[in-house]
Structure 1
Amino acid sequence: MATLLQIETATQVCSVALSKDGQTIMLKERMANNIHASNLTLFIQEVMTAAGLQYTDLDAIAVSKGPGSYTGLRIGVSTAKGLCFALDKPLLGIDTLQMMAEGFLIENPGYDGLICAMIDARRMEVFTAVYNAGLNPVIPVNAKIIDEHSFEEILKENKVTFIGDGAAKCKDVLQHAHAAFSESNYNSATHMSRLANQAFHAAEFEDVAYFEPFYLKDFVFTTPKKK
């Protein structure tokens, strides 16, 4: 039975979970701007204390690896790597968009359409991927600028549910009879439990020394406009 600490910081949600054998046993999360640096280690300690566990009880650390916010991913991965180094535990990197699709399927059992997970990447651009109900990719992870013609080919023949903060801003543009939208939060460390457990038992471990988040796009520095 694997006991895993799970960290999700790819969006505005700062989320930490503990799982045993693929089942979440503890969760602490909050959604707000710029809270990851100040809250992440606190949340980790809170779930460990609430579960009555020591850090040595953990079998591995799992982290949402992206795509997503450059700063959020950096904080989450750096924290996970630090714990792995200190505890001599393996690191698991979980695809953020797949984790979101997993969360939708958990909350919607029996769903047989496609799931399009979207993370806001500013303006009308999103980081996105499309999965079927078996969580297999139909459209791989990519950065996409959304307009009224986006996804029109798959929408002709399939029901597609769009999820994530990127989907919320695209709702008015993606008007189609086969398009549905879910406003629930799927960027939660609890949705990592089954995927992380599978990765652990398959020994799909990352190289702690060299592992980097999957940013998908280079970070662009901007200068605030002078008033």
Structure 2
Amino acid sequence: MKILAFDTSNKPLSVAVVVDGKVLAHTESTEKKTHSISILPDIKEALKKSDLTIADIDLIAVAKGPGSYTGVRIAVTVAKTLADTLSKNLVGVSSLQLLAADGDQEHILIPLMDARNDNAFAGVYKAVGNKLENVIEDQHTSMEKLFELLKNYDENSLEFINATPRLQELIQNQFPNAKVITTENSLPDAAKLAKLAETIKPVEDVDDFIPTYLRLTQAEHDWYAKGHKDDGNVSYVEEV
């Protein structure tokens, strides 16, 4: 299977082309250019290095969030456009699950994205065969609440991934024996994204595929602050 995978939900932009498990091209960009400017040229270059065209690709894999609102929307929009116009299968992978892939598969994996004020986007994963199973759902949470959810686990089995200095401080105060991988050592990897995508069922309707934010955007906060009610319509800002 020929897979094009990319992630713009975090600071780095990662693109990979993987064919039958072999990485043919892999680029990571931490330049200050916006992902919206870089992503298409990086995809084009990855395909060129792989001696493939976009028409050759069987599956498009994208990190669907949580993460930077703008970053998530960029990747999801590109993925949906390619999948729809070229009639390709599309798989969305949790950005937290992708971070979990950086961890030691023997541990209970807790990927994090710092959401400020001692809050984080977090999930809890466990390796089962060739899959990373979500044992505590991805959520936007306080670190205090997250620690409460983890209290029944042996702290020696815990591995926190993508911790900023502040989150690392909180973790070590609560679980001094847990393993911590800092943000510098846990960058998202599109090659791993492609591998994860092979274990996930493609989306049934590309048009219905939307990013996973896990908390309200500022536009939604403003919408509800003006007295509007949640009527179950997610299209105000989420659809792309």
Tell me the TM-score range normalised by the shorter chain. Answer: 0.7 to 0.9
CA contact (8 A) 1:92 1:206 kept: no
Alpha-carbon distance, 1:123 to partner: 3.0
Q: CA RMSD in A?
A: 2.4
2:196 corresponds to which residue? 195
> What TM-score do the two structures reach when normalised by structure 1?
0.84
Q: 1:149 to 1:80 in 2, by over 3 A?
A: closer
1:108 corresponds to which residue? none
Q: 1:47 to 1:182 in 2, by over 3 A?
A: same
CA contact (8 A) 2:62 2:93 kept: yes
Q: Does 1:130 align with 2:124?
A: yes
Segments of structure 1 that go 5 or more residues without pairing to the other structure are 106-110, 223-227
Alpha-carbon distance, 1:104 to partner: 2.2
2:171 corresponds to which residue? 174
After TM superposition, list the pairs within 5 Å mapping 1:44-83 onto structure 2.
Answer: 44-83=43-82
Query: What is the DSSP-based 3-state SS (H/G/I as helix, E as strand, rest coil) of the residue aligned with 2:198?
Result: helix
Task: Out of 150-159 and 40-49, give the one that drifted further.
Answer: 150-159
Corresponding letter in the other structure for 1:45? K
Query: What is the DSSP-based 3-state SS (H/G/I as helix, E as strand, rest coil) of the residue aligned with 1:205?
Result: coil
C-alpha distance in 2 between matches for 1:149 and 1:140: 11
Instruction: Note the alpha carbon deviations across 1:50-70, whole angstroms, 9 max, x for none.
Output: 111111110121111111111
Q: 1:77 to 1:160 in 2, by over 3 A?
A: same
Corresponding letter in the other structure for 1:196? A
2:140 corresponds to which residue? 143
Segments of structure 2 that go 5 or more residues without pairing to the other structure are 222-240
Corresponding letter in the other structure for 1:214? T
CA contact (8 A) 2:156 2:179 kept: no
Instruction: Note the alpha carbon deviations across 1:59-108, whole angstroms, 9 max, x for none.
Output: 12111111111110000000111111221212111121112212324xxx
Q: 1:121 to 1:149 in 2, by over 3 A?
A: closer
Q: 1:7 to 1:69 in 2, by over 3 A?
A: same
> What TM-score do the two structures reach when normalised by structure 2?
0.80
C-alpha distance in 2 between matches for 1:40 and 1:149: 34
Alpha-carbon distance, 1:32 to partner: 4.7
1:19 corresponds to which residue? 18
C-alpha distance in 1 between matches for 2:12 and 2:198: 22
Aligned length: 213
- State, as a whole percentage, how many aligned pairs show the same letter: 30
Return the match for 1:163 from 146, 161, 164.
Answer: 161
